[in-house]
Amino acid sequence: MLDLYLNAIVSGLLLGGFYAAVTLGVAVSFGMLDVVNIAHPAFVILGSYVAYIVNAKLGLDPIVTGVLVLPIFYVLGQAIYQVSYLSFERKGSDSLRGLAFFFGLLFVTEVLLILVFGVDYRYVEAWYIGPTLRFGFIDLPLRMLVPCVLSIVLFGALHLFLSRTYTGRAIAAVSQDPTALRLLAIDPVRIKRIGFGLSIATAALAGAFLIVIQPVEPSVGREYIGRIFAICVLGGMGSLPGTLIGAILLGIVESITTTFFGPSWAPAVGFGFLLATLAFRPTGLLGR
Amino acid sequence: MTAAATSEPTVRPVKIAGVSTPIFAVLALCVAALFYGALALVGNEYLYFAGYVVLQFVVMATAWNILGGYCGYVNFGSAAFFAMGAYTTVSVYTVITDMSKTLVGQLLGTIPPPLLLVGLIVFAGVIAGLVGLGMGYLTLRLRGVFFSIATLALSVVLQTLVVNWDFVGGSRGAYVIRPNEFPLLPGGFIGYLFVIMLLLVVVALTVARGIERSRLGFGFAAIRDDEVAAEAAGVPTLRLKLIATTISGALMGMAGAPFPYYIGYLQPASAFGLEYAVNAIAMPMVGGTQSWFGPLIGAVLLGSFQQWATVSISSVLNLLIVGLLLIFFVIVAPNGIIGFIGDLSRKRRLAKLARAAIGDGVRP
């Protein structure tokens, strides 16, 4: 019994590390830039499929692919932000249209992937997908451990960038006081564009992690919507440490749920977290 | 509301152009009857099959617009409310067939199916309305974005519940056997389902138009335009938003209730299909969100197009087209077809005025 619990908690920790990488982009776009990108999971899945194609055609490691396509996703993110800025934000139109726009993106991406690849599950091959490290009765499958460790590295890198560099601090500040940024001769739109590019770029890596952890099909992204936003809100929106804590908490609870009630209940956990947070502590764990 | 009602004398009722709501309901019924009469004359059963889906989307789009268009709160979980209605029917149906030995099963079994369906629609409306109210109560005190995200997640969680609930068939799905005969109307039971859905359309449109012209509608519009100002001006924003979510959710549930009879075999994946969520948003956006007429136009156009495209192109491709249309309209024509036509005629009128003022000679 004890080893079952411990293993559930350990795999929850590993899962949580990965969830942190998936949520990272939304913590930046939603939490800092105030752009409600509900299409983020679709970009994660897109990242998975890119890793899958390159892996299947060229045999390249999925995570290396994820790193290589970071610039492409960054530019894609910048382009999307530009469209959204020109069409909605600049005109000051209500959030309804922006939301509908991103919902449309989410839907179109999913349908396009279905059209091209069908609804079959796709998977990748890499040396770390099979083996498992064992410490006593605790299992550490490498296909979970590698994404988890790299997620935390990614997390740390972005956190350093956002807290130490000039541009990074501007990103963290832009939605709070755009006028102050203008006074410092920083263009808020450019900063938001960079921030959004970064947020989409993280999706490329998160997608590569996802397809290492589990086989992927186009509609898998939907399960992540509840999770991502639950973690983001629980973590206190823009707070990166809060996001990490929220992700690990959700990972552990989900893993325990899976162990004791079966995997089909796992998607409900994120939603429960989301509703409970919104109802009782909408500012999140580390919220201001 | 009560406070406003007691200090009434200073508030003069606003004069609104157009017929009153009861007359509108009668007119809508007449139009519906004419439409049905025309279809019955053609006498092709497929028209009922295809028409039912279009009508169902009219109800969904109108329901979405009551919250989305009038209040400005985006509901991404239309599929969840629709499925709630559908699964209300499935669970009651399962009580009748699988628990026919119990008293409840026997009592329900004595009700003839056509009558039972009407009861189911009302019941589904109550359930979906209550869920809408609950969701709203938990999330509507925050920024509207949180409500939208919660509704997005609601579909996933309800689908999880249904998949794990063996009583309604779990992930395998459930059969609901449609009676073959319906003696009073042409087209059999499908014809009857069509008539029921047509009546639901009349109800939904009347409710939507009624709201538009009432204090409720003005309150909704105030919330949409500037919620903080509305609150400051004494509009009970939370209560109004809850009313909107309840009405909107209830109508969606009602639209879903007859669906198992229509489809015959209901799977979670089809009841919770993303196409309901995307269509319920795309149709009002394409038609225009400002009045009851927009969702109607959008649903009739997009719904008929999809009925045609599913048969002649492919069902996945037509969903792609709907998604692209949604993005296109949101960016290019944010007020939908109605707003676009309104803009055009306004421009033409202005051009005419300008020409009259300057004189025709100025223009080449």
- Whether the pLDDT of residue A49 is over 80: the answer is yes
- Whether the pLDDT of residue B41 is over 60: the answer is yes
Contact between chains at A107 and B326 (C-beta distance less than 8 A):
yes
Contact between chains at B278 and A107 (C-beta distance less than 8 A):
yes
Closest CA to A246 of A268, A212, A270: A270
Contact between chains at B156 and A223 (C-beta distance less than 8 A):
yes
Q: What is the pLDDT of residues A230-270, one digit of tens each?
A: 898 888 877 888 899 999 999 999 999 888 888 888 878 88
Q: Where are the domains of chain B?
A: 17-285
* Cα(A184)–Cα(B269) distance, integer angstroms: 52
- Whether the pLDDT of residue B7 is over 50: the answer is no
**Which of these ranges, A139-143, A236-240, B192-196, B220-224, has the smallest mean pLDDT?**
A236-240
By CA distance, what is A280's nearest residue in B? B138
State both tokens at B168: 């309604």
What are the chain B neighbours of A115 within 8 Å (beta carbons)? 316-317, 320
Residue A103 in contact with partner chain B when CB distance is under 8 A: yes
Cβ atoms within 10 Å of B101's Cβ, excluding its own: 7
ipTM of the complex: 0.87
Whether residue A288 lies inside any domain: the answer is no
Contact between chains at B161 and A268 (C-beta distance less than 8 A):
yes
- Whether the pLDDT of residue A40 is over 90: the answer is yes
- Whether the pLDDT of residue A174 is over 90: the answer is no
Q: Per-residue pLDDT averaged across A212-219, rounded?
A: 90
pTM reported for the whole predicted model: 0.88
Contact between chains at B149 and A225 (C-beta distance less than 8 A):
yes
Yes or no: say if B276 and B85 are a contact pair by the CB < 8 Å rule. no
**Which of these ranges, A143-147, A164-168, A220-224, has the smallest mean pLDDT?**
A220-224
Q: What is the pLDDT of residue B5?
A: 45
Contact between chains at A268 and B326 (C-beta distance less than 8 A):
no
Whether residue A33 lies inside any domain: the answer is yes
Pairing of strands B174-175, B265-266: antiparallel
Whether residue A78 lies inside any domain: the answer is yes
Question: To the nearest whole percent, how much of chain B has pLDDT over 70?
Answer: 94
Q: Per-residue pLDDT averaged across B153-168, rounded?
A: 85
pLDDT-based confidence at residue B8 (cuts at 50, 70, 90): very low
Question: To the nearest whole percent, how much of chain B has pLDDT over 90?
Answer: 33
Contact between chains at B323 and A107 (C-beta distance less than 8 A):
yes
> Measured between CB atoms, which of B142, B146, B323 is closest to A108?
B323
pLDDT-based confidence at residue B300 (cuts at 50, 70, 90): very high
Contact between chains at B157 and A226 (C-beta distance less than 8 A):
yes
Helix (H, G, I), strand (E, B) or coil at B266: strand
Range of the domain at A138: 2-280
Q: What is the pLDDT of residue B359?
A: 65
Residue B317 in contact with partner chain A when CB distance is under 8 A: yes
- Whether the pLDDT of residue A52 is over 80: the answer is yes
Rounded to a whole number of angstroms, the distance from the CA of A251 to the nearest CA of chain B is: 17
pLDDT-based confidence at residue B12 (cuts at 50, 70, 90): low
Residue A265 in contact with partner chain B when CB distance is under 8 A: yes
Rounded to a whole number of angstroms, the distance from the CA of B118 to the nearest CA of chain A is: 32
- Whether the pLDDT of residue A177 is over 90: the answer is no
Which residue intervals of chain B are DSSP H helices? Answer: 2-6, 21-42, 45-71, 78-98, 103-109, 113-139, 144-163, 188-212, 215-225, 227-232, 237-256, 259-263, 268-271, 274-287, 293-312, 315-332, 336-358
Rg (CA), chain B: 22
Average model confidence (pLDDT) across chain B? 85
Q: Per-residue pLDDT averaged across B334-358, rounded?
A: 84
pLDDT-based confidence at residue B15 (cuts at 50, 70, 90): low
Number of domains in chain A: 1
* CATH code of A274's domain: 1.10.3470
Whether residue A285 lies inside any domain: the answer is no
